[in-house]
Structure 1
Amino acid sequence: MIITSKNNRLRPALLANLACLGVLVPCYAAAASASAEASQVETVIVIGQRDGLRTIAGSGSTIEQTDLVKARVLNVNEALRQAPGVFARDEEGMGLRPNIGIRGLSPTRSSKVLLLEDGLPLSYAPYGDNATYYHPPIRRYDRIEVLKGASQIRFGPNTVGGVINYVTPRAPDVLTGQITLSGGDRGYGEADLNLGGPIGDVRALLHANATQSDGVRDNQALKVQDIYLKLEKSFGANHDVALRLSRYHEDSQVTYSGLTQAEYLANPRQNPFVNDGFKAVRVGASVLWAWSLDETTTLKTSASFSWFDRDWWRQSSNSAQRPNDASDPSCGTMANLLTSCGNEGRLREYQTYGLESRLSRVDELGPASLESEFGLRYNDERQNRLQINSDTPTGRTPGTSINAGVRENNLRYVEAWSGFATTKATIGAWTISPGLRYEHIDLKRINRLNAASPIAGEDRVVAWIPGLGISYRIQPRLTAYVGVHEGFSPPRVEDAINNSTGSSVNLEAETSTNWEAGLRGDIVKGLGFDVTWFRMAFDNQIVPSSVAGGIGATLTSAGSTLHQGLEASVRGSLVDMGVMAGDDLTFRAAVTYVGDARYDSRRFSAVPGSSAVQVTGNRLPYAPEWLINMAVGYQWGTDADVQIEYGHTGKMFTDDLNTVVPTADGQRGRIKAADNWNVTLNLHPDTWPVGVYIAVKNATDARTITDRSRGILPGPPRQVQFGLTKAF
């Protein structure tokens, strides 16, 4: 049951009820023993190791370090394609702004997915602006967890599509490290360092990365530097603390606009917007205190902070604003692009603060084994947003011509309280996992364009989010599961509150009822599989009012929609199966079939000029019917391995009219199915001082389109990359 309300009387009752959880802490603390085993710092566990999937009453998958290394993945998009149900769409070629969709949901800026790092929110504004304009390099992580079942309500606020958790390595107990130097065509170069070990009684881990590339289009130089530090220390037998610090910096010559149809046909790699640029800095800090109260009870408390500053100067925000736009007389033709055409500075600053406690306990109640978890969280977000239009393509100050000057000056605030309670009761072969989550979100927006008379408005969203998962162990290594939970995704501040009046636009939260049923286990030893049927029935799916508007478009309710299909994965090793010894043949596959992704209720087109056309029954944009990723590898002892990977993305529509023939502006028209082949060779003989790898991405140099929402964005071309690695 999802409830939205402006009534503040619910908050005291909520806090009173959730405060009862705090009574458990001193009771458990009194039972703590001085002789308890020393605890270890652990992140907030989402799934755990791959074998942990056997005890989860719902769908999920993990991508382990061996999977990442065998494929020599360049970015997060390549990695996530190994997980069934996940659609990771390319943009600039390095995964700096991932577009991740799950089970047919819109992939734009990953706004329908909850991204975590070590169990804590990775997004700079998970409540008020859950758009991914930043992503650390994939090298920072040891493994990736993808959770889509009912148990994802342990995390929030987005519980619609799924949770993706990036797990960093533990700080090592002895001095160890690895350095990787990589290079390739299209200007690719990367230096990566992992170094860790004890400093006195503190365990430390340092990760540093510098990457550059020319991207997938001309005039698109990309540069990123990322540094991450983790410190871990034990205080006595029952207390452990982990401190994480990070700084990310990006300086990219990247534009927002795609190509027209004619430009793409003439040269798919061209980019006429040579003066556009994107600069971003993110600083993050968090501390996690793990307190082992007794042998059965652990309290984990975290405090986190992030500051994200982003300046994007560009000559258009979508193809409709390209030169020839009648509203900008100085930009009559493309010939004026580098001289008289002005630009827009989208300047953003975010500060996010979080405080969370999670209490987990294991109990025996008669024949039942109980694993319970209770959590409370406070989240505070502050946005400072400016749009400055300049008179020239290289200008960085407010202009004086038509449509120039300061066009937006907004402060936006979000204050959110949430709590959850879940338990996993195992009785014989049965596991029953009920849970309940609560979200209380206060939104505020202040329009400061008129400094003498600012316009302020507030809104509130309140939600109760239930979930239930059930699994049955048919055999020791074969499990059936079924689950249902409410999906919830809050509206952004800018969509909930009118900028001109400060009034609520009554845009309710996005809600759905999510069902799934599956079978997971081993066909034989060393050959595992997972098959899941899923159904997401939305009461109120939120979509852009203009299909070409991109992430910044005004959002509206699309009413009820339906996503339904199957996903499956299989992986195996002939050594683990007992067929081979020494050398090994490995294989994996992930297949997603989204048979239904359609508008179910009475809905009219959001395409300009087509508002009278009813699109009920049409397929949702950017929801490919088929996704396939599979790989076969051969390993020669410990000396070398080779892997061939195949990926398929099915055809997809780009507007609610399901237009097939491309339009001249490039924004609409069906995107054809795409096939991609990658080949990777790793050489690491014990007698060599360094390891060597060679990776060929898009080996057939297939010409593809990834997006049309703001003009055509081409897929990556063939790229050859090589690297040297040294472990010590």
Structure 2
Amino acid sequence: MPARALMVLAAMTGVVPEVAAGEADPAESAPTPDIVVVGERAALLRLPGSAAVISDEDMRRARIFNVNEALRTVPGLFPRDEEGLGLRPNIGIRGLNPVRSTKVLLLEDGIPLAFAPYGDNASYYHPPVERFSRIEVLKGAAQVRFGPQTIGGVVNYITPAAPAEWMARGTVTGGNRGNVSGDAMIGGPALGGRLLLHGTVRESDGFRANHRLRFSDLYLKGEWDLGETQTLTLRASRFAERSQVSYSGLTRAEFAADPRGNPFPNDRFDTERLSASLAHGITLGAAARLKTTAYYHYFDRDWWRQSSNSGQRPNDASDPACGGMANLLTACGNEGRLRRYHTAGVETRLTLDHDALGLGQGDSEVGVRYHRELQRRLQWNGDTPTARTPGTGVNGGVREDNVRKVEAFAAFAQSTVDLGAVTLQPGVRAELVRYDRRSNPIDVLAGGRPTGAKTGVTSGRAFVEAIVPGLGAVWRITDDVQLFAGVHRGFAPPRVEDIITAGGGSVDLEAEKSWNYEAGARFSRRGISGELTLFAMDFENQIIAASVAGGVGTTLTSAGRTQHRGAELALKLSSRDAGWTADTDIFARGQLTWVERARFSSTRIASVPCFDGASPGTAVETGRGTVACGVATDVRGNRLPYSPEWLGSLAVGVTHGPVTVQVEAQGQSRLFADDINLVPVTPDGQRGVVPGWVLFNAAVNWVLPGERVTLFATVKNIGNRLTIVDRARGILPGTPRLFQGGAQFAF
């Protein structure tokens, strides 16, 4: 291990740092062992940085269809749809590319949610949003408490506490496009503590033809008080998806003929995720609390598909038995991208109260983590469209077989120092990551042969270390108005394949690093609250796809220096809380994000494509004028791919007696799908401008007498507007008009 990182990790265990806003007061005898990122909405006023909380009430009023719809209500967030149910979320923050949420740290009750947050931080799984009681989003300097990603922000999903008294709740929902779901929760005192059991099943035809999404989720939470000073929390879950869903989008011609079409009916996506964690909390006198969490995740993913992007179509050039789309359902083979992940770790956090220690006002938190990941990656090429085993044809057999390991040590320290009207929050995080990769002899990607001939095992090892500092401050002008500012180091470790080649060599692709700045103001008084934030991110080496239109699995490369600048605004209003109305509540919430700048700021050479019969030298329209096709050009100053300039949402509603009605608008401005910023669409559909859009949703909730039954109905995309959400693998359409109705029962 590099000596500098070891010295920092050792030294930090003696630093006195900071407690998270919203955690239990030190005077409490038995603290919850949950790790809180933000806390309840009232805790936002204490944070020295931008943050947001999506409450259970917000989600119930809108009867959100998937997690993307909920996250669009948070300024700065750009969640992009894909298959329809939000099972593979694509979340971008402040102009960062949303693909597979690789620039975002996803947590559940403070525990890493991704199956490989260090070695492959891509989201191919997401639990049902019905499982959560609120969603926290943190974008400021305080995110150095978490990791490894500290670039875009932290999204923490909070599960409800196990109830002290027996309760039960069930929800059934049905709608068009084959949407049907059932959700149930039951909990109460049991086994000497409190238990909560939650289950969800859901099916949908998604947004395209030849799709059928199916998943089930079972979640168990148990809480025990071990005397007056200790608590124990057990979490366990199983998620399984068995879906007919394709990876490739549509070509330009296919989209024009049938925008919701899908020529690959035999593609399948199967997953299973098992997860367990055990968290222990103890109060150590009046001044200290210790929280320790151990976690383990198992994730198995098989995606059998005939095309990885709209240009492959499928294996036409390399599979002589295929011969084109005419033989798609008979002679054309497929590819099985098979992945298996084991992830485990243990983390300890010590919180100290400065006042109890005689150090003045404030809190501190210090933590250490040990984390391991094991990936087994296979690619089996089948000879037929429905094959689920390696074939024997020219392009059949095992094409990839390798094992990837990650071992990570992390430590952090963060303090809150109260200086009266001003509070400072310094913090620092250290990360030390070791990568190992081994390719088996038959791995074609490592130089082997599909026949399985012995060519020798290849292996490689690499290290990444980082020191991630941060400093935030908040100035309480009054109890209702605060100014805040912060700066922190952004860090994201590379994937295993981005730092070690299949042959065991070094790619020399460093960790992604940036300096992130923000300053803003927030207020909250009598039913009216808001937050305005200015932000800037300066990247030394933002990592993007080497071929921006090459699909999610393409090789990554450094884009060099990039810049992000913009502003965020969030507002919330309740006439009842403001004292304007008594029996009726007129409410509104809105957010507006302006990413004024998200651009390449250093030299980057890219080739301008010629298409539709154009000769080299023909002028092609881009977002910054025209360029000649067939030549190389410097894209410095061009906008980064998948970074819309404007994002916004606005909801207005009224609650009168038992009825709540809400109307909502969500939208975004246009974006570019490639580094050239092409405006016309290429024939494969993978390059060209993505038009902006605004969609309108409506929801009605009616609580029946007795308040045990709630009926609801929703319409998403009322105008049935056709939108495009992605071009990376070909054109993917957005949400169609969806009608939903159902009932919720409480006991």
| TM-score, L = length of structure 2 | 0.93
CA gap of 1:324–1:47, structure 2 versus 1, over 3 A, is closer
CA gap of 1:534–1:23, structure 2 versus 1, over 3 A, is closer
Deviation at 1:625, TM superposition (A): 0.4
Could you say which residue in structure 2 is the equivalent of 1:599? 600
Deviation at 1:666, TM superposition (A): 0.7
Amino acid at match of 2:512: E
| Partner of residue 629 from structure 1, selected from 649, 659, 669 | 649
Deviation at 1:649, TM superposition (A): 1.1
Q: Is the 8 A contact 1:318 1:548 kept in 2?
A: no
Q: Is the 8 A contact 1:100 1:109 kept in 2?
A: yes
Residues 649-660 of structure 1 aligned to structure 2 (within 5 Å): 649-660=668-679
Once the two structures are overlaid, the 10-residue window that deviates more, 545-554 or 164-173, is 545-554
Q: Is the 8 A contact 1:107 1:622 kept in 2?
A: yes
Distance (Å, rounded) in 2 between the aligned partners of 1:433 and 1:370: 9
Q: Is the 8 A contact 2:241 2:269 kept in 1?
A: yes
Distance (Å, rounded) in 2 between the aligned partners of 1:165 and 1:292: 24
Deviation at 1:687, TM superposition (A): 4.2
Deviation at 1:329, TM superposition (A): 2.4
User: Secondary structure of the equivalent of 1:44?
Assistant: coil
Deviation at 1:15, TM superposition (A): 4.6
Amino acid at match of 1:705: I
Deviation at 1:371, TM superposition (A): 0.8
Could you say which residue in structure 2 is the equivalent of 1:28? none
Q: Is the 8 A contact 1:547 1:606 kept in 2?
A: no
Amino acid at match of 1:17: A
Could you say which residue in structure 2 is the equivalent of 1:4? none
| Partner of residue 639 from structure 2, selected from 619, 641, 652 | 619
> Structure 2, unaligned stretches of length 5 or more?
19-25, 443-453, 611-629
Residues 224-303 of structure 1 aligned to structure 2 (within 5 Å): 224-303=215-294
Q: Is the 8 A contact 2:17 2:427 kept in 1?
A: no
Distance (Å, rounded) in 2 between the aligned partners of 1:614 and 1:688: 63
User: Secondary structure of the equivalent of 2:316?
Assistant: coil
Could you say which residue in structure 1 is the equivalent of 2:721? 702
Deviation at 1:323, TM superposition (A): 3.7
User: Secondary structure of the equivalent of 2:671?
Assistant: coil
Distance (Å, rounded) in 1 between the aligned partners of 2:368 and 2:530: 35
CA gap of 1:606–1:363, structure 2 versus 1, over 3 A, is farther
Deviation at 1:427, TM superposition (A): 1.2
CA gap of 1:316–1:99, structure 2 versus 1, over 3 A, is same
Does 2:100 correspond to 1:99?
A: no
Distance (Å, rounded) in 2 between the aligned partners of 1:21 and 1:706: 46
Deviation at 1:8, TM superposition (A): 3.0
Does 2:440 correspond to 1:448?
A: yes
Deviation at 1:121, TM superposition (A): 0.3
Could you say which residue in structure 2 is the equivalent of 1:76? 67
RMSD: 1.8
Distance (Å, rounded) in 2 between the aligned partners of 1:366 and 1:398: 68
Residues 275-424 of structure 1 aligned to structure 2 (within 5 Å): 275-323=266-314, 325-364=316-355, 368-424=360-416
Deviation at 1:22, TM superposition (A): 11
Could you say which residue in structure 2 is the equivalent of 1:546? 547
Does 2:740 correspond to 1:713?
A: no
Could you say which residue in structure 1 is the equivalent of 2:519? 517
Amino acid at match of 1:397: T
Deviations 1:644-663 (A, max 9, x none): 01011110000000000111
Could you say which residue in structure 2 is the equivalent of 1:583? 584
Distance (Å, rounded) in 2 between the aligned partners of 1:382 and 1:689: 47
Q: Is the 8 A contact 1:702 1:717 kept in 2?
A: yes
CA gap of 1:573–1:607, structure 2 versus 1, over 3 A, is same
Q: Is the 8 A contact 1:38 1:236 kept in 2?
A: no
Once the two structures are overlaid, the 10-residue window that deviates more, 508-517 or 361-370, is 361-370
Deviations 1:353-402 (A, max 9, x none): 11000001111287941210000000000000000111110111111222
CA gap of 1:154–1:719, structure 2 versus 1, over 3 A, is same
Q: Is the 8 A contact 2:304 2:337 kept in 1?
A: yes
Q: Is the 8 A contact 1:346 1:388 kept in 2?
A: yes
Once the two structures are overlaid, the 10-residue window that deviates more, 320-329 or 121-130, is 320-329
Percent sequence identity over matched residues? 50
Q: Is the 8 A contact 1:607 1:656 kept in 2?
A: no
> Structure 1, unaligned stretches of length 5 or more?
1-6, 25-32
Deviation at 1:42, TM superposition (A): 4.1
Distance (Å, rounded) in 1 between the aligned partners of 2:14 and 2:417: 22
Does 2:154 correspond to 1:163?
A: yes
Q: Is the 8 A contact 2:9 2:430 kept in 1?
A: no
Could you say which residue in structure 2 is the equivalent of 1:29? none
Deviation at 1:65, TM superposition (A): 0.3
User: Secondary structure of the equivalent of 1:422?
Assistant: strand
| TM-score, L = length of structure 1 | 0.95
How many matched pairs? 709
Q: Is the 8 A contact 1:151 1:467 kept in 2?
A: yes
User: Secondary structure of the equivalent of 2:387?
Assistant: coil
| Partner of residue 669 from structure 1, selected from 682, 688, 692 | 688
User: Secondary structure of the equivalent of 2:549?
Assistant: helix
Amino acid at match of 2:567: L
Amino acid at match of 2:113: L
Distance (Å, rounded) in 2 between the aligned partners of 1:292 and 1:41: 10
Distance (Å, rounded) in 2 between the aligned partners of 1:39 and 1:647: 43
Amino acid at match of 1:328: D
Deviation at 1:40, TM superposition (A): 3.7
Deviations 1:601-626 (A, max 9, x none): 01112777868221110000100000
Could you say which residue in structure 2 is the equivalent of 1:9? 3
Distance (Å, rounded) in 2 between the aligned partners of 1:541 and 1:517: 23
